[in-house]
């Protein structure tokens, strides 16, 4: 699915600043169109995961504003943010699966955010497992799964609420190249099926660019690039050129 840029951004970040002991985000502004797979790249400690958590409403910037699905999340209280999270699915780094069965892990967003009958929850969990090619494993525990299977369970959990916005934080970290590409293909297929707007943070630039509609690059807390995949690959910005093409010499 192509980005619908004329419709207006589903995610809008304006002049966002956040610091802990030192500045992490330094005036980041970013517009992500409806129906877009937006891949956010950059070196370690560039602020990528922090920005994603700000978009999810898990962190609040000290300065700046963020809109998601028509709501200014930086102006919402905790109860209002809970309601908005029905519109946001998220896959966290390192699986973040609970010490519960696979079925209960996938069902968690439904139980937390919606009042649904048990039979509907079970049907939706089974449907998600079919979609991620892991049918019938509801009763297994995450510790018994391979890394790729855990990622698929994470994708199932992130998409079970059919949220219009889905955020993926390093969805292929620690996986081999073949399994990584299968995860990227799954993310793309789910985005097309649900017509969602997706943000993917990834250190695997080559793999992530195979599914991207647009690309942004964070470097030292600043957004130094925002454009198409072709523009990223042909960028003359020294840091973008180095990171996209894996060059060992350069400013990074």
Query: pLDDT tens digit string along 207-223?
Result: 999 999 999 999 999 99
Helix then strand then coil, in percent of the chain rounded to 5, is 40, 25, 35
Domains defined for the chain, CATH in brackets: 4-245 (3.40.50.300)
User: For 58-114, what is each residue's pLDDT tens digit?
Assistant: 999 999 999 999 899 999 998 899 889 889 999 987 777 889 999 999 999 999 888
CA R_g for the chain: 18
Percent of the chain at pLDDT exceeding 90? 76
Q: Please give the pLDDT value at position 1.
A: 46
């Amino acid at each position: 699915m192509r980005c619908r840029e004329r419709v207006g951004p589903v995610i809008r970040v304006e002049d966002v600043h956040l610091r802990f002991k030192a500045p992490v985000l330094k005036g980041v502004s970013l517009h992500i169109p409806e129906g877009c797979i937006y891949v956010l790249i950059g070196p370690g400690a560039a602020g990528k995961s922090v920005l994603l958590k700000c978009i999810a409403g898990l962190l609040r910037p000290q300065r700046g504003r963020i809109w998601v699905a028509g709501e200014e999340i930086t102006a919402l209280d905790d109860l209002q943010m809970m309601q908005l999270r029905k519109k946001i699915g998220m896959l966290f780094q390192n699986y973040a699966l609970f010490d519960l069965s696979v079925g209960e892990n996938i069902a968690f967003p439904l139980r937390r955010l919606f009042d649904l009958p048990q039979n509907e929850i079970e049907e939706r969990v089974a449907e998600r497992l079919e979609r991620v090619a892991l049918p019938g494993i509801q009763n297994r525990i995450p510790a018994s799964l391979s890394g790729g299977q855990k990622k698929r369970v994470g994708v199932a959990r992130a998409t079970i609420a059919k949220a219009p916005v889905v955020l993926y934080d390093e969805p292929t970290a620690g996986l081999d190249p073949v399994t990584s590409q299968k995860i990227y293909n799954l993310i793309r297929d789910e985005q097309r099926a649900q017509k969602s707007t997706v943000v993917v943070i990834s250190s695997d630039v080559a793999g992530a660019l195979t599914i991207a509609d647009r690309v942004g690059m964070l470097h030292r807390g600043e957004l130094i690039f925002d454009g198409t995949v072709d523009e990223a690959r042909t960028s003359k910005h020294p840091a973008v050129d180095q990171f996209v093409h894996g060059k060992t010499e350069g400013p990074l």
